[in-house]
Amino acid sequence: MSARKTRGPKPIEQLRLCNQLCFPLYTASRLIIRLYTPLLSDLGMTYPQYLVMLVLWEHGRMTVNEIKEILYLDNNTVSPLLQRMEKIGLLKREHDESDHRKVIVKITPKGARLKEKAKAVPGRLFDSISKDNLEGFDYETFYNSLQTFIGALADSQTDRSKDSGQE
């Protein structure tokens, strides 16, 4: 019987926090959202609301399911989020006339007006990051690597759903 090759740290080291792939991703996510918070506060939005608005500004009207897929959200997250956003007048939800099971999300004039203010957010975010620590950092390579990694994670989720008959 041959020994099975494993990826990552040796088994004895696997439970050390510094060897967890998830932890630096989680930490980076929390830190970047923390940088976004004051910028989005000026717009009266939270980070999840900003993501929904980015999708709507880019694609226009969409179904709830399309938004869920693009943002990798589940029903328990997206429904209350859209409900809050509708309450503050950023979007409107309505049933599709041809298929009442589908809910269409449309941006309101108030939501559309925010786009102009939001254009400054990405630049302000990058300006707030310490450049001294990023000398030689290749943003494009990092971004592309993250997209590849996210794709692999999403594919593994799809594969697991198929294997368990959940799809």
pLDDT digits (tens, 9 = 90+) for 110-119: 999 999 999 9
Residue 108 lies in a domain: yes
What is the rounded average pLDDT of the residues 67-96? 95
pTM for this predicted structure: 0.84
Task: Return all residues near 48 (Cβ < 8 A) that are at least 6 apart.
Answer: 77, 81
What is the rounded average pLDDT of the residues 30-37? 96
Residue 152 lies in a domain: no
Asked if 72 and 116 touch (Cβ cutoff 8 Å), the reply is: no
Angle at 37 between CA 36 and CA 41, to 5 degrees: 120
pLDDT band at 160 (very low <50, low <70, confident <90, very high): low
121-159 burial, b at 16+ Cβ within 10 Å, e below that, comes to: beeeeeeeeeeeeeeeeeeeeeeeeeeeeeeeeeeeeee
Instruction: Tell whether the model's pLDDT for residue 12 goes beyond 80.
Output: no
Residue 51 lies in a domain: yes
Residue 125 lies in a domain: no
Instruction: Tell whether the model's pLDDT for residue 137 goes beyond 50.
Output: yes
Residue 57 lies in a domain: yes
Instruction: Tell whether the model's pLDDT for residue 58 goes beyond 90.
Output: yes
Q: How many domains does the chain contain in total?
A: 1
The CATH number of whichever domain residue 58 belongs to comes to 1.10.10.10
Enclosing domain of residue 110: 20-118
pLDDT band at 100 (very low <50, low <70, confident <90, very high): confident
